[in-house]
A and B are shown apart, each in its own frame.
Chain A
Amino acid sequence: MHPSHFTAVALFALFTSTVFGITMRDTPKKMLRYGIYCFVLFVGSAILLSWLMYFIAH
C-alpha cells in the first residue's frame, strides 16, 4: 500500500486521537470532545506546516 502523505497523516491522527481520547478523559462525552480536539490539532498542524514549508521552498 502506498498512501498519499495526507492519507497517512489522517490515518495516524485518527488512530492516535482515538487512544488519546479514551485514555486521557473520564467520561464518554469528554473523551469524544478530546479525541476530536486531538484529531483537528494533528491534521491542522500538518496542513499548516506543509504550507509553511511550501512558502519557504518558493
Chain B
Amino acid sequence: MLYSQMSMATPQINGATAKTSANQGFVYLPLIAGWLVPGAGHFLLGKWGRGALLAAAILGMFVAGLVMQGKLYGNFHDILELLGMVGDLGNGLLFLIARAAGLGAADVQVTTQDWGTRFIVVAGLLNVIAAVDAHNLRTGRKAS
C-alpha cells in the first residue's frame, strides 16, 4: 500500500522538481542571447549541435545577403522601410556590427541586390524563431 502510494507520488515529485529547476535563474537569458548572437540560446542550454546548425544557417544567410550587396535598412521613412528594419533587427548584433562597419548597399539597383536584401531580412526573422525555440526549451514548453 505504502509502496504503491510512493510509486504514484514519485512522478509528481519529479515533475515538480523539474518544473522548479526549469524556472530557476533568468528564464529569458536564452531568448536574449539567441537574439543577440545566432545559436547562443541553444549553446547556453547545452544544445551544441542544434546551436551550431542554427548559427551556420542564420549566419550563412546573412553573409550571403551581404555578399549579394543587399541593403541594410536604416531609417523609418515609410512603412515598408520600417518593416524591413524590424526584420533586420532580428539579426541582433550581426545587424548592428554590419551597420557600424558600413556594409550593405545604400540603393538596390540590380536583381541580386534585391534578393540579398530579402536574405538579410529573412535571416533576422529566422533568428527570432531560433531564439523563441531556445526560450521554449528553457521553460520546458518544448520537450527536448
Would you mind naming 10 contact pairs between A and B with Cβ atoms under 8 Å apart? A1-B64, A2-B110, A12-B61, A14-B57, A15-B60, A15-B61, A16-B126, A19-B129, A23-B129, A23-B133
Task: Contacts A1-B67, A3-B68 given; indicate if A12 touches B54 (C-beta within 8 A).
Answer: no
Instruction: Give A26 Cβ to nearest chain B Cβ, in Å.
Output: 5
Interface residues as binary, B15-57 with A (CB distance below 8 Å gives 1, 0 otherwise): 0000000000000000000000000000000000010011011
Instruction: Bin chain B's interface residue count.
Output: 20 to 34
Q: Which residues of B contact A (CB under 8 A)?
A: 50, 53-54, 56-58, 60-61, 64, 67-69, 110, 112, 115, 119, 122-123, 126, 129-130, 132-133, 142-144
